[in-house]
């Protein structure tokens, strides 16, 4: 059994897509603008991995997610012909601080916290993760972010840095994530791994992940199932 659990956040703990669509819809109502907000949310999220990869390759200096999100948002609003004040752009950009958890997240984390140290290990910046947890009631023992290492997952520094900050060996730390690629990188760096399926992260038409039997140490349908499997 691990000593500590590190959780991927976007998609694993929180339902970013429904939450961002909700925020965009509110934004549209407030400003009298009608667009396909689901497509807008998917495009916004779609720019995230390529932007982080530019940071990972050194084409951009270290840039936190709030700023990567804002750069994409400004371009997308311009392309959609939407003109609003800077303050409104800032508020909308912080939609990512106001994401709602999946229905099982708070109860599952609360149970897991009794037995394990539980932390975030997210590419989201510290203030984003902190504000999100405060609003949603996510009971983290601490908030660890790629920002602390200036290396985005799947860079090794993020996984190993998390173990180092927690004062545990990589093999005593288990990454919990809904994304096989994140888990494979964690495993390559010596961490334990738990895959939790989130089949609606990308909406109703999502293709299932391809995960081999026994590829990860644990596989669970949600955080309550994970707590059961870990005896928490």
Interface contacts to a copy of itself, rule CB under 8 A: 66, 113, 117, 119, 125-131, 133-134, 140-144, 147-148, 165-168
Spatial distance between the Cα atoms of 170 and 193, rounded to a whole number of angstroms:
11
β-pair type (173-177, 218-220): unpaired
Q: Please, what is the minimum distance in Å from the beta carbon of residue 87 to a copy of itself? A: 15
Nearer to a copy of itself, 126 or 211 (CB): 126
Nearer to a copy of itself, 31 or 150 (CB): 150
Q: Please, what is the minimum distance in Å from the beta carbon of residue 157 to a copy of itself? A: 14
Q: Please, what is the minimum distance in Å from the beta carbon of residue 81 to a copy of itself? A: 30
Nearer to a copy of itself, 42 or 141 (CB): 141
Q: Please, what is the minimum distance in Å from the beta carbon of residue 68 to a copy of itself? A: 14
Nearer to a copy of itself, 68 or 117 (CB): 117
Nearer to a copy of itself, 46 or 135 (CB): 135
Strand partners, 10: 14
Nearer to a copy of itself, 130 or 221 (CB): 130
Q: Please, what is the minimum distance in Å from the beta carbon of residue 136 to a copy of itself? A: 12
Q: Please, what is the minimum distance in Å from the beta carbon of residue 166 to a copy of itself? A: 5
Q: 147-155 — which CB contacts under 8 Å span 24+ positions? A: 147/64, 147/65, 150/62, 151/56, 152/52, 152/55, 152/56, 152/123, 153/8, 153/121, 153/123, 153/182, 153/185, 154/181, 154/182, 154/184, 154/185, 155/56
Spatial distance between the Cα atoms of 175 and 133, rounded to a whole number of angstroms:
18
Radius of gyration, CA atoms only, the chain: 18
């Amino acid at each position: 059994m691990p000593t500590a659990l590190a959780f991927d956040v976007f998609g694993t703990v929180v339902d970013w897509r429904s939450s961002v669509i909700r925020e965009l819809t509110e934004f549209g109502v407030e400003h009298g603008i009608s667009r396909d907000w689901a497509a807008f949310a998917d495009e916004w999220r779609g720019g995230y991995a390529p932007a982080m990869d530019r940071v990972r390759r050194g084409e951009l200096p270290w840039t936190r997610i709030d700023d990567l999100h804002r750069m994409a948002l400004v371009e997308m609003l311009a392309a959609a012909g939407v003109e609003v004040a800077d303050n409104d752009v800032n508020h909308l950009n912080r939609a990512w601080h106001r994401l709602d958890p999946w229905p099982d997240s708070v109860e599952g984390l609360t149970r897991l916290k009794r037995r394990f140290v539980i932390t975030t290990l997210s590419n989201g910046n510290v203030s984003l993760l902190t504000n999100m947890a405060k609003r949603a009631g996510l009971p983290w023992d601490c908030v660890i972010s790629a920002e602390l290492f200036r290396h985005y997952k799947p860079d090794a520094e993020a996984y190993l840095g998390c173990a180092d900050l927690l004062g545990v060996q990589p093999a005593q730390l288990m990454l919990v994530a809904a994304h096989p690629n994140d888990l494979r990188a964690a495993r390559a760096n010596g961490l334990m791994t738990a895959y939790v399926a989130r089949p609606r992260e990308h909406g109703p038409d999502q293709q299932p992940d391809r995960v081999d039997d026994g590829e990860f140490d644990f596989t669970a349908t949600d955080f309550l199932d994970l707590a059961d499997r870990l005896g928490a």
